[in-house]
Chain A
Amino acid sequence: MDAVARAVLIYFVLLLLFRIAGRRTLAEITTFDFVLLLIIGEATQQAMLGEDFSITNAVIIIATLLFVDVMLSLLKSRSRRMEKVLDGVPTVIVENGRCLRERMAKARVDEDDILEAARRLQGIERLDQIKYAVIEVNGGISIIPYR
């Protein structure tokens, strides 16, 4: 009984904390971000398992975490509002070749980040070749070039 409660609590605490921390894709995390994730995992593990290292406990905790995740995904597919709240919304940061500075500052993205994404995804060389750039829900920047 305890295990289910712990797992649900940890799920929502992590969801909230990562929502506060903002978006970053797995592809774009730095080595340090990765180390940070490992440490967070380590700290979480203690709180979730307690003193119970049995297989049964592990199965219950994993089942609970995945179940909550699946249920939330079903909820998200039904309600646009829930999707917005849980996943966030995409943000346009370059429009018709013009950088939207205020949005970029809030999203903590600068021109270099946009150019990097543009090079990687489209082989683009200069900012003025970009028609649109959008920060997607998963934190990645997608680029639409001028044709």
Chain B
Amino acid sequence: MSEDRRFEVNEDLDFQRRTWRFERIGWAVMGAIIAAALAGLLGPGPLSNVKAGDARLHVEYERFLRSGSPAMFKVRIGRAAVRDDEVALLLDEAFVETFDIERVVPRPAQWQLVEEGVRLRFPVADLGALATIRLYLRPLSSGPARVGIGLADGPPITLQPMIYP
């Protein structure tokens, strides 16, 4: 600061330079947030969409979800999953606790309470190679989750979505 300055102003150029640097770092952070959002790391998007399972039961879901915001999981059922003219889809206790299940399309004929969680029963007349069941969900909590989805027999598929607040 020059001493002959008669102009009364509280200048602190060092501080101002730090502020400018801070601003530029902030812009980069904002750009990174936008890039992450576009890529699907902060919610549904290309990197978030994942698949799990096998030919009998196959789940297409979002790895990154947001609390309170609608989400959709696609469950594909193979012909081998049919037992006694029906498909039974089992959602475990954690699933029911993590998600508000808003709608299941097609609508299951029955919702049954079982030891492991909830069982949805779909009567089958004639199944092609694959049938799709859509689960419309809304995450209730936030944080990493671990939920299971399976058929009446066989081990369930474990999904580990991350739910952002």
Contact = CB atoms under 8 A, between A and B. Distances in A.
Contact of A53 (B40, B42, B68): B68
A89 to B, nearest CB: 27
What is the interface of chain A mostly: helix, strand, loop, or mixed? Answer: helix
B159 to A, nearest CB: 19
Contact of B66 (A57, A63, A66): A57
A66 B31 CA distance: 10
Interface residues of B, number: 21
A4 B38 CA distance: 7
Interface string A119-144: 00000000000000000000000000
B70 A4 contact: no
A4 B70 CA distance: 17
B33 A59 contact: yes
Contacts, number: 60
B122 interface: no
A67 B27 contact: yes
Contacts of B44: 1-2
A125 B55 CA distance: 87
Contacts of B34: 4, 60, 63-64, 67
Contact of B38 (A1, A51, A56): A1
* Chain A interface extent, by class: 10 to 19
Contacts of A55: 67, 164-165
Interface in B40-87: 40, 42-46, 66-70
Interface in A4-28: 4
Interface of A: 1-4, 51-57, 59-60, 63-64, 66-67, 70
Given A56-B165, A60-B43, 13 more contacts: A1-B38, A1-B39, A2-B44, A4-B34, A51-B70, A54-B43, A54-B165, A56-B43, A56-B66, A57-B43, A63-B34, A67-B27, A67-B31
